[in-house]
Every structure is written in C-alpha cells, then in structure tokens.
Amino acid sequence: MAYEGTQGPEVQRQLRACRSFCAETANRERESTLATGKKQPMVQFKGIMKKFGKVMAVEKMDFDIEEGSLVTLLGPSGCGKTTLLRMVAGLEQPTEGDIFIKGVRINDTPIHKRNLGMIFQNYALFPHKTIFDNVAFGLKYRNVSRDEIRQKVNRALEMVRLPGVENRMPSQLSGGQQQRIAMARAIVIEPDVLLMDEPLSALDENLREEMRREVDNLQQLLGVTTIFVTHDQREALSMSDQILVMKDGSKQQEGDPQTVYNEPVNHFVADFLGHSNFIRGEIVAVDALHVKIRIETGDVLLADNRGNFTVGDRVELVVRAQRFDLFPKEEFQAKEGMNSFEGRIKDRSYMGGEVSYFIELGVDREIHIISMMRTRIYDIGEKVSVQVAPHHCHLIAIEN
C-alpha cells in the first residue's frame, strides 16, 4: 500500500473498501484455521486428469496453491488451461483425481456452493441489466438482505475504482470499465478463489497493460487466492507469485517467475518464456565452479556448475537474447572467465529502446541478440564481438 496518503480521494476510497473487505474475510479465515488447527493450501489438485473421448486435455497432475497467492496457468493454445480452470469451477467433471478447496474435496460440490468468483474472456456483462444488478447478481442467490446487497455492491464498485456508475447500463461504459465491473461482480461475493480465464485478451495493448496492473494491485490488496489463465508470457511473469507452465495437458514446470524464467527445466519452457538461443554441445570438463561445454563450432564455453551434469553429457545451452553484450570487433578485448565469439551482423530490427540483431557466428549458426540502444546501431555486415557471462548460460539435458 505504498501510495497511501499520496493519492486522490478515489484511491483512498478504494483502500478503505479493500480494508473493510479484508477484515470480513480475515474473520472467516481465522475461524477456518481455528477449526482445522493448521494452515493448508487453499487449492489442491491431486492426480487430476481430464479426457474428452480420446483427447487427453489434462494429464494426471498434482499441484498446490497457497492461500492469497496469484497463480498463473501458462501455455500455448489447447494445452488444457481452461479445462483445468473449469474443473475448479465445477463446469467440468474430472475423469480421475480430486480437487480440494481449504482441505475439502469439492468434486461433487455443485457450482453455486463452491464460493468462487469467475471472470472469463467471453463472460460478458448482462447487457439489459444496470451495473448495480450486474454486480449484485451473485448475491441474490445468497441469504443477503437488500441493505447489505447495496452496501456490498457499493464497496465492490469502490474497490474497482468505479463508484457512482451503478445506474448506468454496460453499453455506457468503456471496454476497460466493463472489465472492472466484471471484476467487481466476481469479488462482491467474497470468493475463496478467484478464477480468471484470459480476462484481458479482448483489450487493446495499452488498456491491457493498465488492466494488468489493476488486477495485480487489487489481488494484492484483497489477498484473494487467484488462478489466472493466460498464454501471454509477459502477463504471467509480471503478475504471478507462481507460474504453472503447461504443454499438451501436462505440467512442465512450476515455480516463481524468476525461477521459471532463469532456470527452465526443459527446451519447451525455455522456448516458451522469452527469446532464447539454444546451442548444443557436450560437457568436456567439470570443476567446482564451472562446466565446460564443447559446442558444434568447436568452441568451448563456460557455464556455472549447478551440480547436475557430468563429463560426457549431451546438453543444450540456453542463453537469453538479452544476456549477450555486443562490441565492435576492433575495440573488443576478451576477458578471462567470460565466453566470447566473433560474428557478423546478418539482420537487425530497430525496436525503439532496443535493437534486435541476428548474428552469424559461422557456417549454419546464428544467434539472436536483443541489445539496449546505448551508442549506435551496428550495421548489417559489420564484424562484432559477442560476450556472455557463464552465469547467464543455463544448461538443460537434451531430450529425445
């Protein structure tokens, strides 16, 4: 809550609303912790699997989600993200396995008794209902008095920083505002878990960035456990406490954004998150600090020794495009303990603050470098030296 006291009345109101929301939910949490005697994951998947006929949408998967965290399901189209979310929501039955919320198995709990807030990409507002009725929708089926409904709706609108719009129709709000109303509708019921399936993908790039921060900020203020689905890696990296990377229905890696980005466990994860260069080679020496890898050009490169490879192993060296440093060839002096090569600029594209280069190293080998614009842009055909530190060279085992 860094900006308290420095912002306008709108934000102050948002903070007050969030605080009163948190006080109520904290009471409920305290009761549940007292009842069970220990803190458990908010959501647990145990051996969860889903088949549609012959299609394996989600392969047997175990996964825990901590209370209050924002977890992103990240992966390409068709990898099973929505299916996993729909199983939590109760819109799809698992073929095998169990899902627990607060330690209670919910496989057979009907949708309306799961206490979940949902925001889906195509889950539009009711066009013929006022904003008030849209937000109040989930409360009408609960035992809540009219006065309380009014109070809760007003508070939810303050939380999404849109107080005073309750009598408008959805068409009288912008796309971003409508998405904030969808958020208000999801949080007004004080859900145990908030489920969001690509909620920002219909928005244009600028608005998307703004809404990303909005969702992130609100999630942190409320501390509501959130499962967020996206296939946008930047979205996942910027918002998540934990990321679950999926491919073809199976879990590839789980971890916090930095771990998943800096220590990908396989080629798929390294390739899916960020711009990576893959260089194949064989380990020729190992000492306490470093591993030496002979690559296909015959050069020997150094990578930090993280203890998981031995001499003779075939590996792929992963280096992010942003990790290389570029120098004019005639000015470069190789440094002990660093990896360096010579190359020629083959192609380049100017992207404003940075430049993307494709650099020819030798026959059949090129690397991709994204370089911050410092002094000048290198010309196509120009000879350059490329340097990268061993700790930016990440090794993964070669898969069959």
Ligand X SMILES: Nc1ncnc2c1ncn2[C@@H]1O[C@H](COP(=O)(O)OP(=O)(O)OP(=O)(O)O)[C@@H](O)[C@H]1O
Partner residues linked to 339 by β-bridges: 388
Residue 200 vs 355, nearer CB to Mg ion: 200
**Contact region with ligand X (CB under 6 A), list: 11-19, 25-33, 79-87, 252-260:** 79-87
Please report how close the Cβ of residue 78 comes to ligand X at its closest, in angstroms. 4
CA 72, CA 242: separation in Å to the nearest integer?
Answer: 6
Q: Check binding of 80 to ligand X (CB under 6 A).
A: yes
Binding residues for ligand X, total number by CB under 6 A: 12
Comparing CB distances to Mg ion, the nearer of 36 and 93 is 93
Binding mask 213-232 toward ligand X (x if CB under 6 A, else -) reads ------------------x-
Contact indicator for 341, 386 with CB cutoff of 8 Å: yes
What are the b/e assignments for 362-382, b being 16+ CB within 10 Å? eeebbbbbbbeeeeeebeeee
Length of the chain: 400
Position among 79, 165, 181, 243 found at the interface with ligand X (CB under 6 A):
79
CA angle at 313 for the pair 309 and 317, rounded to the nearest 5°: 75
For ligand X, the closer CB: 13 or 51: 51
Residue whose beta carbon is closest to Mg ion: 82
Using CB under 6 A, which residues numbered 230 to 269 contact ligand X?
231
Asked if residue 242 binds Mg ion (CB under 5 A), the reply is: no
For residue 83, state whether it binds Mg ion (rule: CB under 5 A). Answer: no
Minimum distance from residue 215 beta carbon to ligand X (Å): 18
| Contact of residue 94 among Mg ion, ligand X, none (CB under 5-8 Å per partner type) | none
- 133-141: long-range contacts (C-beta < 8 A, 24 or more apart)? 134/170, 134/181, 134/185, 135/166, 135/181, 135/184, 135/185, 135/188, 136/188, 137/185, 138/185, 138/186, 138/188, 138/189, 139/188, 139/189, 141/112
339 is an interface residue for Mg ion by CB under 5 A: no
How far apart, in Å, are the Cα atoms of 84 and each of 29, 98, 109, 227, 283? 25, 12, 16, 10, 39
Scanning 22-30, 70-78, 167-175, 343-351 for contacts with ligand X by CB under 6 A, the matching segment is 70-78
Compare residues 82 and 385 and give the one whose CB is closer to ligand X: 82
What are the start-end ranges of the E strands in 130-201?
193-197
Does residue 83 touch ligand X according to CB under 6 A?
yes
List for the chain the helix, strand, coil content (%; round to 5).
30, 35, 35
- Shortest CB 82 distance to ligand X, Å: 3
* Contact call for residues 218 and 183 (beta carbons, < 8 A): yes
Regarding 77 and contact with ligand X (CB under 6 A), the answer is yes
Using CB under 6 A as the binding rule, the residues of this chain from 28 to 57 that contact ligand X are 52, 55, 57
| Rounded CA separation 69/253 (Å) | 17
Least separation in angstroms between residue 197's CB and Mg ion is: 6
Q: How far is the CB of 124 from ligand X (least distance, A)?
A: 17
H or E segment at 117?
Answer: strand 116-120
- The rounded Cα 220 to chain-centroid distance in angstroms is 15
Give whichever of 82 and 266 is closer to Mg ion, judged by the CB atom.
82
Cβ closest to ligand X, residue 154 vs residue 250: 250
Rule CB under 5 A: is residue 82 a binding residue for Mg ion?
yes
Q: Rounded to the nearest whole angstrom, what is the least distance from the CB of residue 122 to Mg ion in the complex? A: 10
With 0-12 CB in 10 A as exposed, 13-18 as middle and 19+ as buried, what is 164? exposed
Residues making contact with ligand X (CB under 6 A): 52, 55, 57, 75, 77-83, 231
Which residues form the interface with Mg ion (CB under 5 A)? 82
